[in-house]
Structure 1
Amino acid sequence: MTRITYARSVDDVDPERWDAVAGTEPFGQHRWLRFLEGCLADFEPRYVLLWSGGDLRGLATCHLQRTAHASILLDNAALRRLASATIRLLPPLTCTVPVLNRTGLLVHPASDTASITDQLVTAVRRLGVIERAPFIAFSDLDPARRDLLTSNRTLPEVTLPPDAVLDLSARTYEEWEQDRPRKHRAEIRRVRSRAGDHGVHVEGVALSEVDDDHVDHLLASVAERHGNAVLWRSGAVGHARPRLDDDHARLLIARQNGDTIACVLLLASYGSVLVKWIGLDYPRTEPSFAYHLLMTETVRHALDLGARRLSLGTTTYTLKKKMGARMEPRSLVLGVRPRAADRLVAAVLDARRRRDEAPG
């Protein structure tokens, strides 16, 4: 007999029980939700826990989503402002590990994945009613998990921008670069040389060595440039320090003549590394090729962190393809209230998809 309980903080869930469910799923462990709860602004988590007897068998990480990077999906600035204002007032309940772009659905390795997933989806939809969410979204789904959610349901699906992923088999940066096609290798070296000509170099530092205010400024600069809200709390580095050790986090700093002009944060979990906290001082990074240098240096430091997979994110695909990245598909599945609306929304989205794919 199974039962469902809910929690509003990951600290209300025993870390050992949580991690037994997460297993070796990258970024699924208890520590990563503690990191997000401590560092994200406007984060209102809701956790669904599925028990069998006294054993935790499934988890759904959800949150009331009051902010989003609307620039990824909407080109029109007016529509972005409208979308941002709407979800702030009427937040959907989104099932995902936010920012880390991982599914929020976790099933104990010894459990029946399909059965537990089905029960979790039902419980999340019930939670959406309790929270009076206008709709429920299961986001950041890979094809296998998408199929699991949609196989027995008529749920609307939205294709998200793909994640640029590097599969790393090299042991060193030099070995990785040598494996690139000659044309791409020449381009990478040209850009690195131009950055050097502008006095730019990159170093990896522990969070304990970082100026909190400077990182805040760089992150705010990128958010403002794209018309997005700043996702992180002020002093995010200080909040992250007690939650992440040096084996799981490293900040890359680009300096020009001694001044910090850009940064990215590498997060590492079970052989997978994510690129986050992209911060740029645009007047200095754009002419100096600092961003391009930072991106290539993520490979060097990801390998040092033991990565076999490097997730570079969902923008600037041209550069990332030259680095050898493949495009990994991601989907979002909607659960509309009331359920009778699922078929209608699915039909509208399907018609739109056929129109976009039509020749000419």
Structure 2
Amino acid sequence: MNDMLTLTTHPSIAAIDPQVWDGFGDGNPFTSHRFLLALEQSRSVGTGTGWQPLHLTVAMGDTITGVAPLYAKSHSQGEYIFDHGWAQAYVRAGGRYYPKLQCAVPFTPATGPRLLAGDDTARAGLLAGMMQLAERLDASGSHVTFCTEHEADLGAAAGFLPRITQQYHWLNRGYGSYDDFLAGLSSRKRKDLRKERARAQAFGGTIRHLTGDDLKPHHWDAFWEFYQDTGARKWGQPYLTRAFFDRIHETMRDDILLVLAEMDGKPIAGALNFLGPDAIYGRYWGCAADHAFLHFELCYHQAIDHAIAHGLSRVEAGAQGDHKLARGYEPVPIHSLHWVRDPGFLGALQTYLDQEREAMGAEIEALADFTPFRKGELQP
């Protein structure tokens, strides 16, 4: 580290003053102290999970100037920017890929700052600290995922390799209503979405938006059942514990929008969203009964409704899902940073990522042609 900067690791975020941590944030709910603390207190991360907290602070003298969520990983699950192939290649080359260091929000493929600091000097200090910590802990390397483009530029200057992947986000271009959004679509796509929403909303019940004190423990009981079913099918077992939902109810319910479909007063499906200052983030969905297009309605269309009504700039609907294109979600580049200690493997990785970035740029451009917007409607 720079002689003026001191790096400290913390085995729990509870050891860091919440006001200090959140003072460097931008309001993103996932990098908030309370979200990361809920993961730890609920034992969703920690011993036995493969996500061991090792959070960083960098200080100048006695003053903390930056923080970063960091974990020692013993696998690559729950990250959403995949490096399984790299891990296999590393082992085939005679190396040991795990443990590795991951600067990320566990189980959360949402974009936002990862190097939470007051200036770029502190951000550079955090990046340098991750490299040095990997050396000290005999980890294969360090990775920063779902970071900002500015952080990606800083990382590239520091010796990390930048990577670009893609997600689908809905972008608010000043729409006053959902009909305003539809007006920008081709006639056929506009009709398709109206029919889809009508069919979904005819499931025989009601759709409710719950946030803040409107959320009650029995809503979480229902959503937990939905989440378990979806998690078991997607990942083999859910990442989050039941206690996590109790914790976020206590500390984050004003940052949550739970969209529930109910029949006869009983929840049958739900979509969990988190709210940021300028975005709504779709995270989890589940159901107890299948109804045509209800998944699309709760997860995508209702999120768009909320974003328009509250003047939010975008909806981030999570990882993957080409079906989002037809519903007005657009391909956008996602940034990450990667560094491994082995210089030979790092060189091979750089060649791969250079080629991947070129291919990803072409893919994003090609996918944009499949959005439902009228030609010439979208602005850069």
TM-score range relative to shorter protein: 0.7 to 0.9
Greater mean deviation of Cα atoms: 272-281 or 289-298: 272-281
Match of 2:115 in 1: 105
Equivalent position to 1:195, from 178, 200, 203 = 200
Asked if 2 retains the 8 angstrom alpha-carbon contact of 1:103 and 1:139, the reply is no
How do residues 272-283 of structure 1 correspond to structure 2 at under 5 angstroms? 272-281=279-288
Gaps of 5+ in 1: 84-88
How do residues 1-360 of structure 1 correspond to structure 2 at under 5 angstroms? 1-24=4-27, 27-39=30-42, 40-41=44-45, 42=49, 43-65=51-73, 66=75, 68-69=77-78, 73=82, 90-98=98-106, 99=108, 101=110, 102-108=112-118, 111=119, 113=120, 115-153=121-159, 155-167=160-172, 169-178=174-183, 180-205=185-210, 206-246=214-254, 248-256=255-263, 258-281=265-288, 284-285=289-290, 287-294=291-298, 295-304=300-309, 307-318=312-323, 320-339=324-343, 341-350=345-354
> Which digits, 9 at most, give the CA deviation of each residue in 1:70-118, with x for residues without a partner?
88859x9xx9xx99xxxxx93421112231533421221xx3x1x3222
Asked if 2 retains the 8 angstrom alpha-carbon contact of 1:96 and 1:103, the reply is no
In the TM superposition, residue 267 of structure 1 has moved relative to its aligned partner by 0.9
In the TM superposition, residue 235 of structure 1 has moved relative to its aligned partner by 4.0
Matches of 1:339 and 1:210 in 2, distance apart? 53
> Sequence identity of aligned pairs in percent?
20
Asked if 2 retains the 8 angstrom alpha-carbon contact of 1:68 and 1:228, the reply is no
Gaps of 5+ in 2: 90-96, 363-380
Equivalent residue of 2:175, what SS? Answer: coil
Asked if 2 retains the 8 angstrom alpha-carbon contact of 1:164 and 1:325, the reply is yes
Equivalent residue of 1:313, what SS? Answer: coil
Cα RMSD (Å):
3.5
Distance 1:204 1:91, change over 3 A: farther
Asked if 2 retains the 8 angstrom alpha-carbon contact of 1:6 and 1:49, the reply is yes
Asked if 2 retains the 8 angstrom alpha-carbon contact of 1:267 and 1:274, the reply is yes
Equivalent residue of 2:317, what SS? Answer: strand
In the TM superposition, residue 305 of structure 1 has moved relative to its aligned partner by 5.1
Matches of 2:37 and 2:311 in 1, distance apart? 23
Equivalent residue of 1:198, what SS? Answer: coil
Asked if 2 retains the 8 angstrom alpha-carbon contact of 1:167 and 1:325, the reply is no
Distance 1:97 1:103, change over 3 A: farther
Equivalent residue of 1:267, what SS? Answer: strand
Query: Alignment length, in residue pairs?
Result: 342
Distance 1:185 1:38, change over 3 A: farther
In the TM superposition, residue 257 of structure 1 has moved relative to its aligned partner by 5.3
Asked if 1 retains the 8 angstrom alpha-carbon contact of 2:76 and 2:82, the reply is no
Equivalent residue of 2:9, what SS? Answer: strand
> Which digits, 9 at most, give the CA deviation of each residue in 1:23-47, with x for residues without a partner?
4566443333234334534343221
Asked if 1 retains the 8 angstrom alpha-carbon contact of 2:140 and 2:341, the reply is yes
Distance 1:24 1:222, change over 3 A: closer
Distance 1:217 1:227, change over 3 A: same
Distance 1:306 1:118, change over 3 A: same
> Which digits, 9 at most, give the CA deviation of each residue in 1:162-182, with x for residues without a partner?
242422523444544455544
Matches of 2:26 and 2:295 in 1, distance apart? 35
